[in-house]
Chain A
Amino acid sequence: MIDNFPYIAVAILMGLGFYTLIFKKNLIKIAIGITLIENGANLFLITLGYRKGSVAPIYTQAPEGANMVLPTPQALTLTSIVIGVATTALILSIAMIIYRKYGTINTDEVRRLKE
């Protein structure tokens, strides 16, 4: 059971992200929720590729004869992290534009001012 702790951490991270997305009205908090879900997905990918007692898949000065963890999930997670940075920057800039146009970042008030 304690072996599965990383998966529980993934579930908790994603649950917190979904909670933030559903119940919070602040656009900055929504951006934080999206980042939490993203980090949960990244942690899940990395966890799937772990091999017990292994070292990172880099041959420079590695311990002799040790097993190596699976490198493909790490490479894909690297790509995913950079895409996450890009999308988060775009989300935050759109939040800035909304704040400048409406004077608030509360989603309810933005909807009210539109009408």
Chain B
Amino acid sequence: MKKSIFGIALIFVLAFMILAAFDMRPFGEPTVSEMDDYYIQNAQAETGANNVVTSIVFDYRGFDTLGEATVLFTAVLGITALFREVVR
């Protein structure tokens, strides 16, 4: 009984997602891209790096990377705490 309710809900969600996929704007034509155009044009002059993605990750949006490094550090901390009889 519970499983059939879950199955019906899952079918609804899947149908909704596939309908939304047909309704999205066409693939390959992003509408709003002013910020990315700014990055593409000015990243080389401002950071000196050829790779625009790296200059975003480590310069323009460094706080994201700081948070991500903290998440990775915390995950390692959690794993070593879970297996603390192994680590000693």
Residues of A in contact with B (beta carbons under 8 Å apart): 1, 3-8, 10-11, 14-15, 18-19, 22-23, 47-53, 56-60, 68, 70-72, 74-76, 78-79, 82-83, 85-87, 89-90, 93-94, 97
Residues of B in contact with A (beta carbons under 8 Å apart): 3, 6-7, 10, 13-14, 17-18, 20-22, 24, 26-30, 33, 35-36, 39-40, 43-44, 50-53, 56-57, 61, 64-65, 68, 71-72, 74-76, 78-79, 82-83
Decide if A79 touches B64 in the complex (CB within 8 Å): yes
Decide if A78 touches B75 in the complex (CB within 8 Å): no
Decide if B75 touches A7 in the complex (CB within 8 Å): no
Decide if B57 touches A3 in the complex (CB within 8 Å): no
Query: 7 A-B pairs, CB-CB below 8 angstroms?
Result: A3-B26, A6-B27, A22-B10, A72-B35, A79-B64, A82-B71, A85-B72
Extra contacts besides A51-B33, A71-B52 (9): CB < 8 Å: A3-B28, A4-B21, A11-B21, A18-B10, A47-B27, A56-B53, A57-B52, A57-B53, A58-B51
